[in-house]
Chains A and B, each alone.
Chain A
Amino acid sequence: MSALDTEAPAWETSKENAAPRKKGRDVAKLNRAFGAAPDDDAAIRHHEAALSTEGDDPLQAFTTYAAYLEQHRPTDALAAFELRERCCRAFRDDERYKNDARYVQMWLDYADNLQDPDDLFKFMKKKKVGLQSAAFWCAWALRSEERGHVKNAAELYKKGLEKGALPTEMLTAKQAAFEARAVDRERNPPPPRPRPRGLTAQRPSRAPTQQPQSTPAASGTTPALEIFVDEGLRPVTAPVDDWPDFGSLRERAKENTRGPTPWTEAALSAPKTSAPTLASAAPPAFDVFVDDDCVAAPAPAPDAPTTLRD
């Protein structure tokens, strides 16, 4: 019984190469993508050409291109992500799309792929994108809840309802579910996170040395610094400047990422004298049978660098 008798479909034989997608994938498109020779360069070029920021409804070109990339390039999750980034940044100041469902969904899909979307949500709020959309508030509250900021999540649901975000049923349903989960969490609290070992060690605490009060008479030439003391301890909200751009992931993380170095400059460590190098390797314990046609062809003169011969 040969396994090749019943040939599995193309999507099954390459099922691990398709990035998981929330809405699922179309089988026919998957088969085509994993098929013999997917020739979609023309389609990609066509889509790229259609992208622009002018026109009647330029957002439509972006959404169709993103959908196309997701379905027809299942392995390459990065392409769709970068396209969404471009789209979000291109239209961030565009008034007509501020509460457009497709545009808000574009932002939320972008946030789904970020590790830390809190800043992104705050940026969206500042730019007033999606404030009337229940999906925005629900997504923000869900991410906050998952990180453990339960109070923040509760406030977000309330704020969403205040702003009159639509559809309201979605907000109320998600809020009810959130409250049920909060009750559950109180009943079975999760195990506490272990604290780092070094910080809990008992050490004799040294009392801070008291600085002698400098009398105004002794300071002489320089007057002591006057600090305004607020009796009521009211928070003073300073006006926050405008936040012009969120920036692409690559720009924001460019100092945290390490680019590749050329191979020849990147030796790992000094070679151990005991470890066998290529040239000094002892022949194997068994004799390898050499094929006739491999013996007949003369071995090409090795042009390896001199270091290999050491």
Chain B
Amino acid sequence: MSAMKALRDKNADLADLEKILNPTDVKSSVMPRWQRKALQRSDSSTSNDRFIPTRSAIDFDQAGHVMSSSENSSSSEGESDESKEARQVHADRLKAGLLDAESRVLAYKQKAPAPKAGYVNSLKVLYTAHGSQQVRKAKSTRHIPSAPSRVLDAPDLLDDYYLNLTSWGANNCVAVALGPTVYVWNAGTGAITELLTLDEGDDYVCSVSWLPGETGAGHLAVGTSAGSTELWDVAASRALRRMDGHAARVSCLAWNGHCLSSAGRDATIVHHDVRIRDHATGSCVGHQQEICGLSWSPDGTTLASGANDNCVMLWSAAQTGVRSQAPAHSLTDHTAAVKALAWSPHDRHVLASGGGTADRCIKLWNASTGINLNSVDTGSQVCALAWNPREKELLSGHGYAENQLSLWKYPAMARVKDLKGHTGRVLALCTSPDGSTVLSAGADETLRFWDCFGTAPAKKGKSRAAALSKGVVCIR
């Protein structure tokens, strides 16, 4: 009995010792060295060490012959020079005819297996303008004009993938950040106001976001390269507050009721409560590099963030008051930076994300479980995504080299239409408050308005009259 107890104690001690030596509660994203080496050993059938020859690449018969012939050639004596020369020439000819002339005794690596005949590397599409894939074309029941309805000039629009420089508010005003200045353009009247200019050295505006919803539609959040987030009352043209909390530029903003989430190059998301003096109520830590995409779900329960470290992380809203919150889900399927994030307005918990140059995929996720529902290769860098609020369609903005906007039918993910016109890559997409027009900002310093989502069905009777009147305005 006591022996059993002693044994049990010994096992317990061993277990404790093991726990101390191999702490499992240390979360590290780096694989321990022993694990890495084990993987390497199990992975590769060939040795990675260049000083160990590969047995499978050595031809032992040839090697044996070469070694024995080099021994024999030195042993023959008592022969005349000519016959020795003749024998040497004969031996050389035999060797050249029968054996591989370049054969060595030891071989160190095997060549990679050749691709099957006729194989065309699909990455060709990455470096050339044309899309050589045969994508299914879905039929559309409505007419989608191929040309933009308006093109506006946006000089000094920063050509940076990681910034979010446009926002279209519920008050039908578009806020655009051009360098250090933010302009507000009223889409209904065409009036333009210069809201603010950052005057500190070479500071520039990195992100703008209108407070969503019909109430409070005149408030604009502005993120700067100095790391501060400003809240402006646009009707009165004055700053309401300046909020710190970041060590580097603030490249994305997202609103959830009264909570403003800001994220940027320091890879942390900070939640600001704009009603109280101590605004920084919570933070989310998890990303390793600059966060370029941030989006709250329409029901306000989940925050999705995409970063340059190729991860999409989902954070729960219940813990926005917590410091250094950990993500609920970490989705690592993308192989490039994720900026394009869009929650579906039709299905709850469905999130669409688009990858950068190396990935080029649009992936659909179930945010409550973190499962990947679908993945489509688009052929070029995905810069932005926007859902059609009425139909089940998804619009994506692309970069190198066609610079097109693609409309996809959901959930089949078949391409309905490509809208071409931008001569530089598409940087951002914004949907109008009535859900019929999409604004795309391009690296060619233009803003283009596309009527791709169709008009609201309630105005069916008046749509013809509206179209006619719009036509008259265009002509003038």
Contact = CB atoms under 8 A, between A and B. Distances in A.
Given A15-B357, A281-B171, A289-B241, A268 B148 contact: no
Contact of A269 (B119, B192, B466): B466
Interface in A266-310: 266-272, 275-279, 281-291, 293-294, 297, 299-300, 302, 304-305, 307-308
A13 B308 contact: yes
Interface residues of B, number: 103
B4 interface: no
A184 B237 CA distance: 66
Contact of A278 (B215, B234, B443): B234
Nearest to B241: A291
Nearest to B259: A286
B375 interface: no
Contact of A77 (B116, B152, B171, B400): B400
A29 interface: no
28 contacts: A3-B267, A3-B289, A4-B267, A8-B288, A8-B289, A13-B265, A16-B162, A16-B356, A16-B357, A16-B381, A113-B129, A115-B130, A178-B118, A191-B134, A197-B139, A260-B446, A261-B150, A263-B185, A263-B190, A267-B190, A270-B188, A271-B186, A271-B189, A275-B433, A277-B172, A278-B217, A284-B211, A302-B237
A78 interface: yes
Interface stretch (B64-72, B89-97, B98-106, B270-278): B270-278
Contacts of A19: 400-401
Nearest to B136: A191
A177 B289 contact: no
Interface string B301-327: 000000010000000000000000000
A5 B308 CA distance: 16
B120 A181 contact: yes
A interface majority secondary structure? loop
Interface string B436-473: 01000001101001000000000000000010011001
A239 interface: no
B147 interface: yes
B238 A289 contact: no
B308 A282 contact: no
Contacts of B268: 3
B274 A15 contact: no
Contacts of B358: 15
B25 to A, nearest CB: 14
B241 to A, nearest CB: 4
A287 B216 contact: no
B391 to A, nearest CB: 17
B interface majority secondary structure? loop
A288 B241 contact: yes
B235 A281 contact: yes
B370 interface: no
B214 interface: yes
Nearest to B149: A268
A78 B139 CA distance: 34
Interface of B: 116-120, 126-130, 132, 134, 136-137, 139, 147-153, 159-162, 170-173, 184-193, 211, 213-219, 231, 234-242, 247-248, 257-258, 265-268, 274-277, 279, 285, 287-290, 292, 308, 336-337, 339, 356-358, 381, 400-402, 421, 423-424, 432-434, 437, 443-444, 446, 449, 466, 469-470, 473
A14 B339 CA distance: 13
A299 B134 CA distance: 58
A95 interface: no
A143 interface: yes
A114 interface: yes
Contacts of A284: 211, 213, 215-216, 219, 258
Contact of B134 (A22, A190, A268, A270): A190
Contacts of B126: 20
The winner among B191, B266, B400, B473 for most chain A CB atoms within 10 A is B191
B118 A180 contact: yes
The winner among A8, A263, A272, A299 for most chain B CB atoms within 10 A is A263
A75 interface: yes
Contact of B275 (A178, A197, A263, A286): A286
Contacts of A190: 134
B191 to A, nearest CB: 5
A113 B401 contact: yes
Contacts of A3: 266-268, 285, 287-289
Interface string A165-181: 00000000000111111
A65 to B, nearest CB: 21
Contacts of A252: none
Given A20-B400, A177-B119, A308 B258 contact: no
A16 B129 contact: no
B335 to A, nearest CB: 11
Given A181-B118, A294-B239, A308 B215 contact: no
Interface string A77-112: 110000000000000000000000000000000001
Interface string A152-165: 00000000000000
A12 interface: yes
Given A16-B356, A269-B188, A302-B235, 18 more contacts: A15-B358, A16-B292, A112-B129, A113-B128, A114-B129, A115-B130, A180-B117, A266-B150, A266-B190, A271-B188, A279-B235, A281-B171, A284-B258, A285-B215, A288-B231, A294-B240, A294-B242, A308-B189
